[in-house]
Amino acid sequence: MVLSGCAGLPGHWQKDIRRNVGDEYEKAAMPRNMVIPADVSQGLLPPVEAKVPEVDAEEIPPRYDLAANKTPAREVFMSLVKGTPYSMVVHPDITGEISLRLQNVTIDEVLQVMRHTYGFAYRRDGNRYMILGQGLQTQIFPVNYLNFNRKGHSNTRVSSSELTQVNNASENGTTSSTSTTHGIEIRTDSASDFWKELKESLQAIIGEKDGRRVVSQPQAGLMVVRAMPDELVMVEKYLGITQATVNRQVILEAKIIEVELNDSFKTGINWSALGTSGNTSVLASQTGGGTLLNSGVSEISGLAGNLQPGGSYTPIASATMSAFGGVFSLTAQAKNFSAFLELLKMQGDVHVLSSPRVSTVNNQRAVIKIGGDEFFVTGISSSSTTSGSSTTETPTVELTPFFSGIALDVTPQIDEKNNVILHIHPTVSNVSQKDKNFMVSGRAFSLPLAISNIQESDNVVRAETGQVIVIGGLMKEATSEDNASIPLLGDIPVVGNLFKHQRLIRVKKELVILLKPTVVDNSQLWTESIRSSQQRTDSIMQEPR
């Protein structure tokens, strides 16, 4: 299985780590040949030297034209090996007549036709053919699958509640309220108990009469079936199709992208003026364009000066200012006045939140989770204990984990033409804390509650192998406006704009998910996938940290 995604990286990559990672990728991409290590080979017994007769070429089975019209079955079987190096053994219970006309066929092809048409079961052991009887037969079938019971559940819900107050007609005039919940919910459940379902299916095919039985052995990967020869043929065909279907595999590559449309506008004027009268001078200035809108504190915060009369006068450098990052500026300077005007407008950005890759088999759920859990208080209760004249209250706090990050839940179903039907459930969540203050019976309470911001979608789509699926439209929008001004002067209509700094930000984010399923039908695709992962790892290790 190939897995790749987002993870924290060390500050630098050591040479031996790079070499070891590269060696492992090279081993994984090599053909899977059986190679015995040298130390193990030396500990084994020396090979036995034996001369094996050389075979020039693989023997080509002879082909015949066969015709029979109401011929006894025993005679037909015995005539198939006449004049050939093959042997034929026919069970004494074989009876009946056969009518057929076949051209240019081998013995195996003839026996397969007669098995499907007349129900005559046979086995081959080297050059010997054995025609089995018409009674119950026992056959062992190998089945390669994991012995486990797997269950999955995903839920997408949109709910809202309303509170309705109802006045009672009783004499005490009490009121009651009812809460009604509305919403939309999509619940998807999946369960897989392969061996149990397989045994039930085979039992339904052969029935349970006259000693027919199915024995399942998941630990050994075997199914033992006792049934009639024609029923065993059906069981063999069913198991062959089932094995090929459940072992189909798909590689799922995803890119979760956040497109941020950022419409930001900032404007402000920093100015200073100097007035003098005789030996007295007054300096007035407006500052804060660099930091006031970001941190709420002007850049002159923390500067010291000495304004004590009669003392050593040291002015505060209040006219020192820093720009807030604009791309347009205008500076004006007169004899006793200077001004700095700055404008800034910004647009959005694109962020790749995650690029996971995972492989899974047919009809098995694959889950990718990147993020962390944080615990929040979801319930508080208390119990009182009285001992003598004192009462002790013991609070009990209930904590519930909330996940923040990215989760992708995918279940594929692959058909015989390598088309894939996918159930896709992506979720991007961000959980924060908000303190909720409220009054109960005159007592004030404050609870830290969890606020969850979720973007998710639940889809069922169909795609060909290698086709990219795009899921978009998961949007959210927020607007914020910040103003900073000189008290009183900033409130003057029109003129007050000269004493203000403003920032207006409109943020619109859209979550776009790109998903590409690739059906694995040969070893070359595995090699290509491993090479792709190796290239991504090499590019990460070569990036400057």
Q: Tens of pLDDT along the chain (545 residues)?
A: 444 444 444 445 556 666 665 666 566 555 555 555 555 555 555 555 545 555 455 578 888 899 999 999 999 999 999 888 899 999 888 888 999 999 999 999 999 898 888 888 888 888 899 998 878 888 899 999 888 888 877 777 665 555 555 555 545 555 555 555 556 677 788 788 899 999 999 999 999 888 899 999 999 999 999 998 888 888 989 999 998 888 888 888 888 887 777 666 656 666 666 666 566 666 666 666 556 556 656 666 666 666 666 666 666 666 566 665 555 555 666 666 566 565 655 556 777 877 888 888 898 888 888 888 888 877 777 777 777 777 777 778 788 888 888 888 889 999 888 899 998 888 888 888 888 787 777 778 777 778 888 878 888 889 888 888 888 776 777 777 777 777 777 778 877 777 777 777 777 777 788 888 888 876 565 566 666 666 666 665 565 54
Q: Which token pair is 115?
A: 């098995």
Residues 6+ apart with CB under 8 A from 198: 143, 216, 223, 242
Residues 6+ apart with CB under 8 A from 505: 262, 263, 264, 265, 479, 480, 481
Q: Which token pair is 241?
A: 């199709």
CATH class of residue range 135-151+186-247: alpha beta
CA distance 461 to 320: 61
Q: Which token pair is 501?
A: 């700094």
| CATH (one of 3.40.50.300, 3.55.50.30, 3.40.50.1100, 1.10.580.10) for 64-134 | 3.55.50.30
In the chain, the amino acid numbered 428 is V
What pairs with residue 66 in β-bridges?
A: 102
User: For 143, left (φ over 0), alpha (ψ -120 to 50), or beta?
Assistant: beta
CA distance 272 to 222: 90
Residues found in the chain = 545
pTM across the whole model: 0.57
**Domain edges within the chain:** 64-134, 135-151+186-247, 348-542
Half-sphere exposure of 155 (CA within 13 A, CB side): 5
